[in-house]
């Protein structure tokens, strides 16, 4: 009578059968479709099992109520914005140098002497109250020439501020403006301001200058305009304002 195989022998047989099956599955030649097609079991919805489980898990999480403190909420509360600090504030007062109440009526209290003006751009344009880019302006009738404008004040005047504007849109050049004051009827002058402005059609084309002074008993104010400190051009000023 044949002897029954031992438990160890039976285990070895099972293991060998498993190995033979794996070897046959891995190394058996397959058709192109079997090599490159990933077979993933799907559910009744048509989604792979992993995607369906993930979808249902997210839906279940969304239905779980959340708690904030001792209250059940569906959404976390948005924290309240802090109240703005109590602040003492007030509108900034107008700069005395540009306050209209202190503006000097140049045309009414002074005569204007000048070395040159273009008939299309007379000195009046500089004092017509128009300002900003594109406003009417005074322009010399001569190019590359230093020009002078003198304000001859009827009675000695206190001057605390000066504003003037310059514009150049067509040429690249540097214009210098010098301002001098006289307190002895124009016999002598004291320089109070020198500024240079670099203009370029593709860059800066407009400049507004505001200065504050403490001038007493001014009888004459002289402006010297050098249009071609560098480059070439014509002296010009868009606006001039004085303040007491």
Secondary structure (H, E, C), 122-186: CHHHHHCCCCCCCCCCEEEEEECCCEEEEEEEEEEEEEEEEEEEEECCCCCEEEEEEEEEECCCC
**Could you confirm whether domain 111-243 is CATH 2.60.120.260?**
yes
Counting as low any pLDDT under 50, the low residues of the chain are: 1-2, 26-27, 34-37, 68, 96-97
pLDDT for residue 35: 47
pLDDT value for 192: 95
What is the structure's pLDDT at 36? 47
3-state SS, residue 31: coil
Q: Tell me, what's the pLDDT at 68?
A: 47
Instruction: Give the pLDDT of residue 57.
Output: 62
Q: Supply the pLDDT for residue 195.
A: 95
Please state whether beta strands 147-167 and 239-243 pair in parallel, antiparallel, or not at all (unpaired). antiparallel
Of the candidates 198, 173, 187, 197, the one whose C-alpha atom is nearest the C-alpha of residue 222 is: 187
Adjacent-strand bridge partners of 175: 197
List 173's β-bridge partners, or say none. 199, 231
């Amino acid at each position: 009578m044949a002897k029954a195989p031992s438990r160890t022998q039976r285990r070895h047989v099972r293991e060998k059968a498993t190995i033979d099956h794996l070897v046959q599955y891995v190394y058996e030649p397959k058709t192109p479709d079997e090599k490159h097609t990933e077979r993933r079991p799907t559910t009744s919805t048509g989604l792979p099992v992993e995607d369906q489980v993930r979808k249902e898990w997210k839906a279940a999480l969304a239905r779980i109520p959340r708690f904030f403190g001792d209250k059940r909420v569906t959404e976390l509360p948005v924290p309240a914005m802090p109240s703005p600090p109590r602040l003492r504030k007030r509108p900034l007062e107008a700069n005395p140098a540009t306050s209209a109440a202190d503006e000097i009526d140049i045309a009414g209290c002074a005569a204007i002497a000048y070395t040159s003006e273009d008939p299309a751009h007379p000195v009046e344009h500089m004092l017509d109250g128009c300002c900003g880019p594109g406003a009417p302006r005074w322009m010399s009738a001569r190019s590359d020439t230093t020009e002078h404008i003198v304000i001859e004040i009827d009675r000695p005047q206190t001057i605390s501020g000066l504003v003037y504007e310059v514009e150049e849109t067509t040429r690249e050049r540097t214009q210098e403006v010098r301002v001098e004051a006289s307190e002895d009827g124009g016999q002598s002058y004291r320089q109070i301001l020198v500024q240079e402005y670099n203009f370029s059609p593709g860059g800066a084309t407009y400049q507004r200058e505001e200065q504050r002074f403490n001038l007493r008993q001014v009888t004459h104010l002289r402006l010297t305009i050098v249009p071609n400190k560098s480059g070439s051009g014509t002296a010009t000023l868009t606006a001039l304002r004085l303040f007491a």
